[in-house]
Structure 1
Amino acid sequence: MAIDACLQVSTYRSSERAKHQDAPSKISITAFPSARSTALTLRQLVGFARPSAANHTMSYALVQYCLCRLPIPHLERLGHLKIPFELHAAPFQFLQKHHSAFGFAWVERLVWRTHDLHKPYNFLRPELLLAQESGSQRLVAILTIMPGEDYIRHYASMLEVAQHAGAIPSNDGPIHCVLYPHLTQSIMTWTGLTELSANVEPGDIVVLGFVAELLPRFASLVPTSRVVWRQDSPYYGLIRLELRPGLVFSLVGAKYSYWGNLGGRVVTELAARRPRAICYIAKQGTLLSPDDIHCRIYSPTRYCVFDKGQACWRGDEHPAIPINPLSSKFPTFDRGLHVSTPTIVEQDVEFRTQLEAHGAASIDNELAQMARALTDLHEENPSMSRIQLLPLMFITDYLRRPEELGMTVPFDLTSRNQTVQRNKELFLARAAHLVLEAFDVIQRPKAVIVGTGYGVKTILPALHRRGVEVVGLCGGHNRVKTETVATKHKIPCVDLPLEQVQASHGANLLFVASPHDKHAALVQQALDLGGFDIICEKPLALDTAAMGHFIDQARRSPRLCLINHPLRFYPPLIHLKTATKEPTNILSIDIRYLTKRLSKLTHWNSCFSKAAGGGMMLAMATHLLDLIEWLTDSRLTQDSVKTISTSNSIAPLPTEDTQLIKTPDVESAFQMSGSCPSSTKYSVECDGAANTELFSVTVHLANEDELRFIQRKGSPILLEQRYAGREWSPFKVGMEQRIRDGSPWQVSFQYYVEELVEAICMGKRSAFADKATGFDDYARHVGLFGSRVGIV
C-alpha cells in the first residue's frame, strides 16, 4: 500500500535532527528478551474516572489541550481506513530498529506536526508510525511515547478524552497500550544520563528546567563567569558554568519530557553525584488565584505526591525533606503545600476539592516527585550532607473551583501568544536573579523606609512583594507604632541613622516618605553618604535653590535619584495611551482627581501648612503634569500653563492643644489648564476635600472619538470608549492584563517597584531613569506653579 497516498502525509525529513534516528544505540533487543508486555486498554492504564469539560478545572480548554497534543487529523484518516491504532511506550527509534522482533515486517515514520527544532531541549515528542504485521497485509498505526509510568498514563488519559469527544474513531473497540517494562526500568541508562551525570562534580549547583533560557542570563548577570565543561548526547546536554572559583552551576537539559515520576528518577541519578543543590525552574498551576498567573513566582517548601486520587507521599511526615535555600530570604514566595499528580486530565473539580482540603496551593507533575527522591536519598544516607531543592515556578494556569467553571481566566495551558512569551521572558529574568541571589552571587537591594504612613501602607508591601529586604524603618513621634511595624515585618533597624544602617546591614535603597518639610534633609544625607538609590516622595524640597543643588549632585551620582511618580507604570493608563495610537492624535486631556482625604482629618496636620509643604498642589500637581507629559510624549514649559486657580474648603481645626485652633493657609483644591507643545489641550481638577473618591482621565481624539479611564473607590476600574455620536462602551482590553486590587497609587507603585528592583539588580539603572521621573524633571514641573505655593 502507498502510505503517502492513503494518508496524504510526508515521511520525516532527513534534515530534521537526523542524529536522533540512531539515538537509542545502547538499547539492544537481545538484552530484553521479554521486553514487550501484554497490551492494556487505556481504561486499565488510566485508573480514574474520565472527566469532561463540564467538571474539569480547565473547563472548556480540556478537550483543546488534549487534541493539540495528538495527531488527530491522521488518526481520523486512519479510522476511516479501518486501520487500528495502538499506543507504544517506547521511543520510535527502538521500534524502527527492532520491528521484526515485535512482529512487524516494516515500520514507517510519519510527520504529523512541526516540532520546534530550534529548541536545544524538550523538543522530542511522541511520533506516529505505520507498521505492517509480519506474515500479513494488516496495517497498524502506532503512537510512540517515551517510557515512564506517569507519562504513559498522561497520554492514555488524553487519548480517552479525545476518543470520547469523537475526535478519534472507535472502530473495533478500545485502544490498547503496549508497555516495555525493561525500557522503563532502565531509562536513565539507555538515555545516557548515568554516563553524562558522571561529569557533574560534588558541590555543583544543578539547574533543571528552563536551562537553555537561563544560561545566557546567568552569563550576562555574571560577566566573569566561564563555561568549564560542555557535553551533548542524544537525550541530554550538560554545561558547567563557573560563576566564581568554587561555585559551578551544572545546567542539565533533557531533550525529552521527564514527566511526572521521571522527574524524580532524573533527580535521583543526579543526586548520586552529591551536588550542593538542585534548582528546578519550570511551570505549574495555582489553586489560589487566577491573578497569580504570570504575575507571581512560587517557591514551595512543602510537598505531597498524589496517585490515583490519594496522597501517597507526604513530605511533612519526613524530617529529611530538602531545604529551600531561598525561603529564608523571600518567605512570601512560599505560598503553601505543593502537590504533584501523574496527569492533567485527572485534575477535575472533585479532585481539586480534595487537594484544597489538604491545604494545597499549587500543582504540577514533577516537583513533589523530585522532593521525594531527595528525601529518600537523605533517609537512606543519614550521614550525607543534605542536598537543597530550589524550585522557582512560573504560574501558567488556575484550577477552577466547582462554582468557577464558567469563569474566564487570563491564560491556561493552551495559551500560545506573544503576551505569554513576553511574560515568560520576565519570569526567566526574575528567576535568573533569584537563583544567583539564593547562592549569594548577586544581591537584591536592601531598603530603608523613612515614614510610617504611606511608607508602611504602600511602600513596605510593594517591596516585600518583590522580595526586597527592608532593613531599616524610621518613623516620627510615635515610636511604638514604628517598633510594632518593625517587629511584625522583622525589620532589624528602627529609627537609626542612615549611616549606621548602611554600615551594619548594607542598606543601599532609600525611600523618603516622611513629612514634606523633612524630605530635603534626608535626601541630602543620602547623597552625602553615597551608595544609595533614592526614591523620594513629593516634594523634593521647599525651595528651588535646594532642588537645584540636588539636581547637580544627582547628575554626578551613578545611583538613581528619582521622584515617585508611578502613574505611567499603571496598566490601565498604559492601555489608554496605547489606544490613542499616536500622541499627535490627542486633541485634549481632562483629568479629575477627587478624594475625601483632607475632609476626613479632624485635627490640625502639617498638610494644612504652607511652611510644612502642605496643600494639594504640591502633593498632586506634579503627578498629573507628569501624566500629561507621558501621554503626549512632550515636555511642558512655562507657556504650557494658561490658568491656575485654587480654593480651600477646610475650616479651622483644633491642634493637639484642644484650646487652640489653626486655619489652613494652603489650598484644598486646584484647577489648571493649558496646552502642550504638541498643541494638545489639557485641564486638571483636583479636590482633596471632596465628598467622593474618583480618579478619571478622558482623552479626546482627532477623529472625535473619546477614551476614558475611571476608578471609583469600591467599584471596578472602567476603561471605556465612545465613538463620535454614540454612547460610552467598555474598552476592549485583553484578560491577560487583569489589574490588581488597590488604589491607582498603590497598584502603580507595585509595578514601579517591580521595574525598579529589576533595573537595580540587572545594572540597568539608566534605562529605568529614562522611563521614570528624575529630580530635574520634577523641579521643572514645580517651576510651572511653584510661585503659587510658596516655592521660590
Structure 2
Amino acid sequence: MWIVFTFIVLYLLVGFLMDFWPFQDGSNASPVKAIFHDPTTASVHTHTMGNSLTEYLKMKVHPLIQQRSWDQIFVIGDHQRDSSKVIVASNEKRDKPFNWMRPTVSVVDSGTLYLHVFPGRDYVEHYAAIIATYLALKDKDVGLVRFQYPSQEDCLNVFSTSNLEKLGVVDIVVLGYVQGLQSWSQSDWEDVDDGNLFSWKTAITTQGHRVAFLGCRICFWGDIGGNLVRTLRRVNGAKCVLYVGKLGSLRAEHIPNRTLATGSRSFVRGEPIKWQNPLEPYLQHAASVVTGVHSCLPSVLYETHDWLVSNQDRVDFVDPEIGQMAKASLEVGCQFGYLHIISDNLARKYDRDLSNERLADVRRNRGKLLSEIQAVLEPFFNGWKSAS
C-alpha cells in the first residue's frame, strides 16, 4: 500500500515540476508554468480574403510544416536563430533589408515540432492561428496545434538585450518602410550585421533634432510594436515615434496601394484608445490621405465576414499594432503618429491583396505613396517641437 502511495506522490511531483521546467527544445523562454491554448481557425468561406487566404497561408507557414505531418506542434515565444538548434525557414524574404526574419522550428522527436516565434502575445497567437487554419484547409487535425503566451518580461527583454543601445539618444524615430524613406540621409545603414535586430540611418533636422530611420529585421507584430515603443523611450529617450506601414480598410471605396491612412483613435481588444497624432497638421495637402478610426486585431485570421459586419459602423482601418503602439506611447509619455499604405480591402474584393503584394504594379504604386509620405515628413521634421 505504501509503495503505491509513494509512487503516486512521486508521479504527481514530477508532473508538477515538469510544468515549471524550461521547454524541452532548449529555448530561451522563461521557465514558467506551461499553459497552452487552442488557436482560432478561419476558412475561405468565413474570411474576408476568400480564396486568397490559401496563398497567403502558404507564404507564412514554415516549409517543414508544409512538407510532412506532425503529431504535435507547439507555438512559443522565443527568438531563436542558432542554426545548431533550429531550422530557419527557406521561404524567408531575404531579398529585402528588413522585416524578413520569420519563425524558426525545432524538432523534439519524430512527431513533435516547436515553432519559435519572436516574443509577443499577438504574434504567437497569430502564428498559431496561421498553422491551424493551414492544416484545416488541408483537412488535417487542428487539435495538434497549441500555443503558449510569452511573459511580458520575455517580450521586453528581447529588446533590452538588442543592439538598440548603440543607436544612442534620438528625438524622433521612424519605423516601418524606412528603406523607402531615404531623402534625409544618403549614408549607409549602420550596424548591418544580420545577427542584429536593428539597423539605422540618422539625420539632423534644421531645428537640430536627431531623427533615426530604424529598420527592424523581425516583424514587430501587435504588442511587439508597443513594447518597441516602450523600449525606444526608455533606452533611447525617443520623444516621438512615427510608423509608416500598411493596413486593411473596411471602406469599399479605399483602393489598395493607392490610398494612405492615418488617424488618432483605435480599439485595442475592445478598449478605446485616443491620442494626439503629431502628423495631423501636415496632412492638409496630402491628396491620397484618408482619416479614420482604427482597430487592433491580434491576427489577420480574425478578419472574418462576421467581424467586418459587426465593426463596419465604428471602424475604418484594421491592423495588429497601431493601437498597441499608441497605447504604449501614452504610457511612457511619447508622441505617436502613423501614416500607412492601405494594402487590402475587407469590404470589397480587389485584384490586389495580401496574397500578391509583391507583384510589380503593387510595388510601383506603393513607391508613389512613399513619395507622398516623404513629402509629409519633410515639413514635419523641420517644424517638430518636443512636447516635453
- Interval of TM-score (by shorter of Structure 1 and Structure 2): 0.7 to 0.9
State whether residues 89 and 145 of structure 1, in contact with CA within 8 Å, keep that contact through their aligned partners in structure 2: yes
Matched, 1:399 2:340: no
After TM superposition, where is structure 1 displaced by more than 4 Å over at least 4 residues in a row? 29-34
- Please point out which of 176, 179, 184 is paired with 1:209: 176
The aligned amino acid for 1:218 is: W
Summarize the Cα distance change of 1:59–1:143 in structure 2 as closer, same or farther, 3 Å threshold: same
Q: CA 1:140–1:241 in 2, change beyond 3 Å: closer, same or farther? A: same
SS in 2 for 1:53: coil
Please state how far the C-alpha of 1:244 moved relative to its aligned partner. 3.4
Which residue is 2:68 aligned to? 78
C-alpha contact (below 8 Å) 2:30/2:154 kept by paired residues = no
1:330 alignment partner AA: Q
Aligned to 1:366: 321
Q: Could you tell me the TM-score, scaled by structure 1's length?
A: 0.41
1:183 maps to 2:138 = no
1:42 matched to which residue of 2? Answer: 38
Change (3 A) 1:325 1:93: closer
2:369 aligns to what SS in structure 1? helix
Other-structure match for 2:133: 161
Which stretch of the first structure deviates more once superposed, 249-258 or 175-184? 175-184
| Structure 1 unmatched runs, 5+ | 1-28, 98-106, 133-137, 221-225, 379-386, 442-792
Q: Distance in 1 between matches of 2:243 and 2:134?
A: 31
Contact conserved, 1:37 with 1:178, CA < 8 A, in 2?
A: no
1:348 to partner: Cα distance = 1.0
Q: Secondary structure at the match of 1:360?
A: coil
Residues 1:315 and 2:273 aligned together: yes
* 1:221-266 residue CA offsets vs partner (Å, 9 max, x unmatched): xxxxx78x94456111232212436033211121101100110111
- One-letter amino acid matched to 2:353: D
Match of 2:337 among 370, 390, 411: 390
Equivalent AA in structure 1 for residue 133 of structure 2: V
Alpha-carbon deviations, 1:314-372, whole Å to 9, x = none?
124xxxx2332334642873522122211111111221123223x21111111111111
- Equivalent residue of 2:181, what SS? helix
The 8 Å contact of residues 222 and 324 in structure 2, kept in 1 or not, is answered as: yes
**How far did 1:180 drift?**
4.9
Q: Deviations over 1:446-468 (max 9, x none)?
A: xxxxxxxxxxxxxxxxxxxxxxx
Deviation at 1:54, TM superposition (A): 1.6
- Following superposition, the deviation at residue 52 of structure 1 comes to 2.0
Question: Distance between the aligned counterparts of 1:262 and 1:51, measured in 2?
Answer: 23
Over residues 497-522 of structure 1, what are the superposed CA-to-partner deviations in whole Å (9 max), with x where a residue is unaligned? xxxxxxxxxxxxxxxxxxxxxxxxxx
1:240 matched to which residue of 2? 202
SS for the counterpart of 2:128 is: helix
Judged with a 3 Å threshold, the aligned counterparts in structure 2 of structure 1 residues 350 and 331 are, in CA distance, closer, same or farther, namely farther
**Aligned pair count?**
353
CA drift at 1:61? 1.6
Structure 2: segments with no counterpart, 5+ residues: 1-24, 384-388
Q: Take 1:329 and 1:399, find their aligned partners in 2: how far apart are those partners?
A: 25
Describe how 1:265-414 pairs up with structure 2 within 5 A: 265-272=227-234, 273-305=236-268, 307=269, 311-312=270-271, 314-316=272-274, 321-327=275-281, 329-330=283-284, 333-357=289-313, 359-378=314-333, 387-400=334-347, 408-414=349-355
Partner of 2:42: 51
* Equivalent position SS for 1:279: strand
SS at match of 2:312: helix
- Letter aligned with residue 423 of structure 1: N
Aligned counterparts of 1:257 and 1:156: Cα–Cα separation in 2: 16
| Counterpart residue type for residue 186 of structure 1 | N
Which SS does the other structure have where 1:124 is aligned? coil
Distance 1:85 1:437, change over 3 A: same
1:57 Cα offset (Å): 1.7
Deviations 1:17-57 (A, max 9, x none): xxxxxxxxxxxx999895254251433xx4xxx33222222
- What pairs up with 1:91-170 in 2 under 5 angstroms? 91-93=79-81, 107=85, 109=87, 112-132=89-109, 138=110, 140-166=112-138, 169-170=140-141
Conservation of the 8 A alpha-carbon contact between 2:27 and 2:80:
no
Matched, 1:263 2:225: yes
Matched, 1:90 2:43: no
Change (3 A) 1:148 1:329: closer
Report the Cα offset of residue 149 of structure 1. Answer: 0.2
| Aligned CA distance change for structure 1 residues 334 and 271 (closer, same or farther; 3 Å) | farther
- Out of 241, 249, 255, which is 2:211 matched to? 249
CA distance in 1, matches of 2:86, 2:292: 48
**Cα distance in 1 for residues equivalent to 2:359 and 2:27:** 46
Larger RCO (CA under 8 A, 6+ residues apart): 2
Distance in 2, matches of 1:371 and 1:425, equals 26
Distance 2:48 2:285 in 1: 28
Q: Which residue type is aligned with residue 322 of structure 1? A: Q
Larger Rg, first or second structure (1 or 2): 1
Alignment of 1:273-672 (within 5 A): 273-305=236-268, 307=269, 311-312=270-271, 314-316=272-274, 321-327=275-281, 329-330=283-284, 333-357=289-313, 359-378=314-333, 387-400=334-347, 408-415=349-356, 416-440=358-382
